[in-house]
Amino acid sequence: MQPTLTNPNKPLLVVEDSDQDFVFLRKILTKLAINNPVYRCTDGDEAINFLYSQGDYDSTFVPRPAVILLDLHLPGTDGKEVLKKVKQDERLKTIPIVVFTTSSDPQDINCCYEYGANGYMLKPTDLANLKKTIQVFVDNWLEVSVLPR
């Protein structure tokens, strides 16, 4: 049964440096019939530029993401710093951020929640479990949760 989405047109921002992980994510979202606009940044600096409409994004319409799916280990500014900056900004702090990473290090987990992460999901290394994990993300953040405007 396909989900009835609470947030069908809300944009997602995926901050992911791995092309392979992003391709798998997009394929799984497509199979789940998720049609939300998906934007991708490949590093923390690009994510900051996207969110603040600066750099390469200063003269482009940049939608405010409804949810951010954030990898931790990124080139340049890492995911923890992106999380901290967004959650300290009055204009952006209400955007839910779900950390999606391979790190099960308790220090990373605690740090992310201290910085204001709304969720922390471990990124599985096999495709079957990745599908299940993405399904959980979709069920929670696109089907059940009511996202801020």
Domain ranges for the chain, please list them.
Answer: 12-143
Percent of the chain with pLDDT over 70: 95
For domain 12-143, give the fold.
Rossmann fold (3.40.50)
The DSSP line for the chain is -----SSTT--EEEE---HHHHHHHHHHHHHTT--S-EEEESSHHHHHHHHTT-GGGTTS--PPPSEEEE-SS-SSS-HHHHHHHHHT-TTTTTS-EEEEES---HHHHHHHHHHT-SEEEE--SSHHHHHHHHHHHIIIIIIIPPPP-
On average, the pLDDT of the chain sits at 91
pTM here? 0.92
Q: Which tens digits make up the pLDDT trace of 17-29?
A: 999 999 999 999 9
pLDDT of 1: 44
pLDDT of 8: 64
